Chains A and B, each alone.
Chain A
């Protein structure tokens, strides 16, 4: 067996920033014993005008499970107060699926024999044009995590093209240094999503066996570097079900909370992915994150940080997605295809990362939003450089 590198030690070229956020997140997560929270704690949390970290901890605990209905009601009120009837739409676009990481749970990992592809400039333009024609104004550019095959200049080029077709450009790519985020920001990107997967570094180490991604602290500090690089907003997530989902959700919430306190202007959002079936790997079963637990996490995020965005994944079924918009989710994807080139090619050039559970078009999703008395919003953002 090949020797694994130290997952807590930065590799050459990885920027180290001075920050105590990681230490704080990890120590609070380690101290989080969700079994000690009681019904009283949950009721206090539900009644709080400005919920504290302790309230958030209570809302994520098993003691809150019987209060899911009340949590949903409170979340709905908060969502309405902060977002009115607006529901934002976006589509993710995978421009490349080359990956240097070996993450045991992921279909893109470097040991999986899938079809790899990378769109060239024209291919990116064609895909973006096709998506923009549907009426979409916000795009999230994704790549597999390969610095070699999808370097920063390549992603920058994609951002520049996206900036022509869309009003709002986000990226979900490998973590990078502050100056690289700055470079992408100057090319039109303003939002950065990085999933930490799990905040438990011991577990993280067993799941991310090789590649840059193995370096736990470099990933955890990505949002802070992105903000320092001039990005307007950052998104946080743990892949629920990889490890103890309550602790991971708690850590993601505390991480976002601390970043917002340190950088009050930064726009904060969450995603709530959980494990879904993947190509060539059906050995891993999602732990116990059923819809009920997922909804508990989502409503807890909403109540704890009522001003934060919350994106509902395409991995969830339409019926679930439609019900959480307006309640806790504020952003929903539509017209999603996770293959490479699949918006314009008859057959996608590269395989997809995961199977989606909601393949509705933009129009269909908008109709579903309107049917609930909510308003689909394509864009609420202006790029000011």
Chain B
């Protein structure tokens, strides 16, 4: 059975999206190879640095997902998206609008606005957002190709703190739900995939691992395992164990 991640008509075999923000450039290549990632995010503000153009480190065949980090409102996100397009990064754009320097939480209101503006301009917007049902609906209606709810505050490695709310998005929003930010361990990535997330995006957890290449591979395997479990249909996990023979078997007629 073919099981592909489809975003705006584009097919991907891997459900692991690798962030590049906190990477050692020289290790990106190896991590992409070992994680099997086909999408790699890229901060527009990091493109073309003299210390090595980050674009040079992206292996061929990998789809770039530039992000608008640095934007504090919708208008700035649009400006940055246009810079990405000019730099030859394609039409995919991960919208990041952050108006708080302490927690770096996404601003859903401005993000939804940016989504609409960018979709109208021919971009394929993938908003990074706080998992709120109404905001996710707005983003979908505005033309989002996927939504990327956060699992926990960025860089916190706290795992699936927002699990119940992401579950609601998975149920209600007919778009790929890509869990982004906060995933600290492969087990947490697996857990998100098991409940039906479409893909996982991770960066800090891998960037700060003792062995980056090995951790990238661990994530890859965990995501595959979680996806398989989801497709297989996890057995019912009830609050109490159910009896192996029916409790109502004595009924005669």
Q: Quick one: closest A residue to B157, CB to CB? A: A81
Within 8 A of A (CB), among B20-55: 21-25, 43-46, 49-51
- Selected from A136, A267, A379, the residue in CB contact (under 8 A) with B45 is A379
Q: B99 near A: Cβ within 8 Å?
A: yes
B203 neighbours in A (Cβ, 8 Å): 84
Q: B83 near A: Cβ within 8 Å?
A: yes
Whether B22 contacts A85 by the Cβ 8 Å rule is yes
In the complex, what's the smallest C-beta–C-beta distance from B40 to chain A, in angstroms? 15
In the complex, what's the smallest C-beta–C-beta distance from A167 to chain B, in angstroms? 8
B156 neighbours in A (Cβ, 8 Å): 81
Q: B112 near A: Cβ within 8 Å?
A: no
Within 8 A of B (CB), among A328-385: 366, 373-382, 384-385
A137, B103: Cα distance in complex, Å: 27
Whether B23 contacts A380 by the Cβ 8 Å rule is no
A307, B155: Cα distance in complex, Å: 10
Within 8 A of B (CB), among A88-119: none
Q: A83 near B: Cβ within 8 Å?
A: yes
A148, B71: Cα distance in complex, Å: 36
Q: Quick one: closest A residue to B50, CB to CB? A: A135
Binds A, one of B3-11, B72-80, B131-139, B217-225: B72-80
Whether A384 contacts B49 by the Cβ 8 Å rule is no
Whether B23 contacts A84 by the Cβ 8 Å rule is yes
A82 neighbours in B (Cβ, 8 Å): 155
B103 neighbours in A (Cβ, 8 Å): 307
Q: A264 near B: Cβ within 8 Å?
A: yes
A385, B204: Cα distance in complex, Å: 29
A268, B102: Cα distance in complex, Å: 9
Q: B173 near A: Cβ within 8 Å?
A: no
- Selected from A86, A136, A305, A382, the residue in CB contact (under 8 A) with B22 is A86
Whether A382 contacts B80 by the Cβ 8 Å rule is yes
In the complex, what's the smallest C-beta–C-beta distance from A86 to chain B, in angstroms? 6
Q: B90 near A: Cβ within 8 Å?
A: no
A169 neighbours in B (Cβ, 8 Å): none
Whether A265 contacts B101 by the Cβ 8 Å rule is yes
B76 neighbours in A (Cβ, 8 Å): 384
A379 neighbours in B (Cβ, 8 Å): 45-46, 49
Q: A59 near B: Cβ within 8 Å?
A: no
Q: B216 near A: Cβ within 8 Å?
A: no
Whether B208 contacts A382 by the Cβ 8 Å rule is no
A86, B207: Cα distance in complex, Å: 10
B46 neighbours in A (Cβ, 8 Å): 377, 379-380
Whether B22 contacts A384 by the Cβ 8 Å rule is no
Instruction: Write the A247-266 contact mask toward B (1 if CB under 8 angstroms, else 0).
Output: 00000000000001000111
In the complex, what's the smallest C-beta–C-beta distance from B121 to chain A, in angstroms? 16
B102 neighbours in A (Cβ, 8 Å): 260, 264, 305, 307
Whether B99 contacts A264 by the Cβ 8 Å rule is yes
A376, B83: Cα distance in complex, Å: 23
In the complex, what's the smallest C-beta–C-beta distance from A242 to chain B, in angstroms? 28
In the complex, what's the smallest C-beta–C-beta distance from A310 to chain B, in angstroms? 14
Whether A382 contacts B44 by the Cβ 8 Å rule is yes
Q: A163 near B: Cβ within 8 Å?
A: no
Whether B51 contacts A265 by the Cβ 8 Å rule is no
B98 neighbours in A (Cβ, 8 Å): 265
Whether B72 contacts A265 by the Cβ 8 Å rule is yes
Whether A81 contacts B204 by the Cβ 8 Å rule is yes
Q: A84-B23, A86-B22 are in contact. Are A264 and B100 (CB under 8 A)?
A: yes
Q: B168 near A: Cβ within 8 Å?
A: no
A381 neighbours in B (Cβ, 8 Å): 45, 70
B25 neighbours in A (Cβ, 8 Å): 375
In the complex, what's the smallest C-beta–C-beta distance from B185 to chain A, in angstroms? 14
Q: A28 near B: Cβ within 8 Å?
A: no
A264 neighbours in B (Cβ, 8 Å): 99-102
Instruction: Write the B79-120 contact mask toward A (1 if CB under 8 angstroms, else 0).
Output: 110010000000000000011111110000000000000000
Known contacts A378-B50, A379-B45, then 19 further A-B pairs from the complex at CB < 8 Å, ordered by chain A residue: A80-B208, A81-B156, A84-B23, A84-B204, A85-B23, A85-B207, A135-B50, A265-B72, A307-B102, A307-B103, A307-B104, A366-B51, A374-B24, A377-B49, A378-B49, A378-B51, A380-B46, A382-B45, A385-B79
Name 9 A/B residue pairs within 8 A (Cβ), A-sorted. Answer: A80-B208, A85-B208, A135-B51, A264-B102, A307-B103, A375-B23, A378-B50, A382-B70, A384-B79
Sort A-B residue pairs by CB-CB distance and give the 5 closest, nearest first.
A84-B22, A382-B45, A135-B50, A384-B76, A264-B100
